[in-house]
Structure 1
Amino acid sequence: MKNFERRNDALRINGNTVNGITADIAITPRGSDFYFAICAAMAVAAFTFVGLALQKHRRDRIFHYITAGVVFVAAISYFSMGSNLGFTPIVVENQRSDPKVHGVFREIFYVRYIDWFITTPLLLMDLLLTAGMPWPTILWVILVDEIMIVCGLVGALVRSTYKWGYFAFGCLALCYIIYQLAWEARLHTNPLGKDVTRVFFLCGSLTCILWVLYPIAWGVCEGGNVIAPDSEAVFYGVLDFLAKPVFGALLLWGHRSIDPARLGLQIRDYEDDPAVTPVAHAGEKSRTRNGATAGNGDGVANDMPQDNAATV
């Protein structure tokens, strides 16, 4: 029997040259292998979250779908980086004597920022919807997040010291997001119950801690050319693994007994009676589990007419 040798030919097939420019500071097969490993973890998480969603009623799948979308997009991004695609060579601002980062053109993966442009708003939606935040605030925080990601991308592609100006704008946007998660959103969870407060505190704290580390990674990778692209793969890969699959698992575990209607997410399914709101459905299910019938405390159904019903 012939010996079987596992080979990752992505670097040989796709190369390090884009538009005639070769990135001489680029990942090695070890970095490519690590990207593919994170890709596999993201894909497994995506199918797991979708499988968990199918065990829920369609009205109760919003957090499962959002979180599955996050890791599915991340899986595509990490497949691209493992394949040594989705990058452009950029002249480094600071050329180093360390042989691991010695060179002129560094490999900058713009596909990573495409990933973040899609997934970080979804992660914020997971948290802010859990906190019951109003939609105008959610949209505003997402806009600030998009500004942060775009500033990071533009800064990574700039060849001069002006890249640090974009870095500063991105950090300012991050500070505002952290404020919203650590203060405003946390206060919104207080009236929603201890279970909601607990899951938001756990997932929100994890997000705040991890997101603060991303500017450090940017500073030593795309910004300062301090660590090698293989180390960059590990730095960002570990952060993304904790910020997406681990975050998603904790969030969905915390939501296992939380009705979305409690959070203001009154979602109607096509099987529902149009005359009955999702809140009423949730109340009926809750009372059924407690062995009581829908109605008042005497067991008599409440069928009072709506005072504010429109008349023609």
Structure 2
Amino acid sequence: MGNHALDVNPPFGADIHITTRGSDWLWTVFSLFTLATILFLAHSFVKLPSERLFHYIDISILLLASITYFTYASDLGYVGIGVEFFRSNHKVRGATRQIFYVHHIYWVLSTPLLLLNVLLTAALPWTHVFFVILVSLVATVSFLVGALISSTYKWGFFVFGLAALGYIAYTLVIPGRKHAAFLGTDVARAYNVAALLLIFAGFLYPIAWGVSEGGNVISPDSEAVFYGILDLLVAFGVCGWTIWAHHDIDPSRLNLRLRSYDEDIPGAKGHVEKPRPAANV
């Protein structure tokens, strides 16, 4: 049974669009993300409910990616936008190009979760974490808005996004590393690898944006491959590493242990204070 996504959902309103080959690749990425979501969900039961914070974050990222790539592969969630640069190459020849806003929505939702994964590992203060998440929204929304603009003004939003990514990279390299190092070598190692993956990918995404939605240099199929590899690298790399690296790290060291429903809360009604052992004389 072949792939009939483009027959059912033809690319109306876009001269430059994905082909069945691109859709086939996107279905592969969707399958990988869906399988990973199921595996991470099953693995979460290995941990106590009070120690599943990173599982919940990672499962959310993978689930969002699965839904996004299902939509992407189905040739849905896009809009045709006029290109700024007209190319002679037949793969990118035309006046309008498919812009998959659903993919940008995924980044708007998943980037804060990826940063939570990393910054919580370093036990960065919540005020700083909140601000970095806000900056990440500036970055992802800027790239989304820029992609939906056909004129040269799109590059202004591109610069806004780059500036926001620069601040995020600074936070990961300077304050984040200092906080993680203070918590021990195991926490520092867990943090450094995840942060390095985020920084590496964070500077490849703007390149992908520049040659696809921005500059109309590569075809939508090549764009799908570029973004698909990056999304797999980030999601599998950061999420997989986080789960593995935190296997022997007590969440209470990071002030992240969650209370179970059957645990007493000190000071709450009905709480019984356990007797303290007698002091040795």
Structure 1 and Structure 2 fold alike (TM over 0.5)? yes
Count of aligned pairs between the two proteins: 273
Correspondence for 1:13 among 8, 22, 30: 8
Query: After the TM superposition, which of the residue ranges 195-204 and 267-276 deviates more from structure 2?
Result: 267-276
Higher RCO, Cα 8 Å, sep 6+: 2
1:124 deviates by 0.3
Distance 2:123 2:236 in 1: 23
- 1:271 lines up with 2:271 in the alignment: no
In the alignment, what sits opposite 1:287?
none
Correspondence for 1:250 among 218, 227, 241: 241
Residue by residue, what CA displacement relative to the aligned partner does 1:187-215 show, whole Å, maximum 9, x if unpaired? 10112111110011111101110111000
Distance 2:200 2:164 in 1: 15
In the alignment, what sits opposite 1:164?
155
Contact persistence 2:44–2:55 (CA under 8 A): yes
Residue by residue, what CA displacement relative to the aligned partner does 1:89-147 show, whole Å, maximum 9, x if unpaired? 00000010000100111000000111011110000000010000111101100000001
In the alignment, what sits opposite 2:83?
92
Structure number with bigger Rg: 1
Residue by residue, what CA displacement relative to the aligned partner does 1:262-306 show, whole Å, maximum 9, x if unpaired? 001142111213239xxxxxxxxxxxxxxxxxxxxxxx96579xx
Distance 2:39 2:67 in 1: 16
Alignment of 1:120-131 (within 5 A): 120-131=111-122
Distance 1:263 1:303 in 2: 31
Gaps of 5+ in 2: 268-274
Distance 2:41 2:277 in 1: 38
Q: Could you say if the C-alpha distance between residues 117 and 303 of structure 1 is closer, same or farther in structure 2, counting changes exceeding 3 Å?
A: farther
- 1:33 lines up with 2:28 in the alignment: no
Distance 1:107 1:303 in 2: 73
Distance 2:225 2:154 in 1: 23
Distance 2:141 2:184 in 1: 36
In the alignment, what sits opposite 1:289?
none
Alignment of 1:144-293 (within 5 A): 144-275=135-266
TM-score, normalising length: structure 2: 0.94
Contact persistence 2:143–2:157 (CA under 8 A): yes
Contact persistence 2:27–2:73 (CA under 8 A): yes
Gaps of 5+ in 1: 1-5, 277-299, 305-312
In the alignment, what sits opposite 1:106?
97
Q: Could you say if the C-alpha distance between residues 222 and 303 of structure 1 is closer, same or farther in structure 2, counting changes exceeding 3 Å?
A: farther
Q: Could you say if the C-alpha distance between residues 108 and 270 of structure 1 is closer, same or farther in structure 2, counting changes exceeding 3 Å?
A: same
In the alignment, what sits opposite 2:132?
141
The alignment's C-alpha RMSD in Å is 1.6
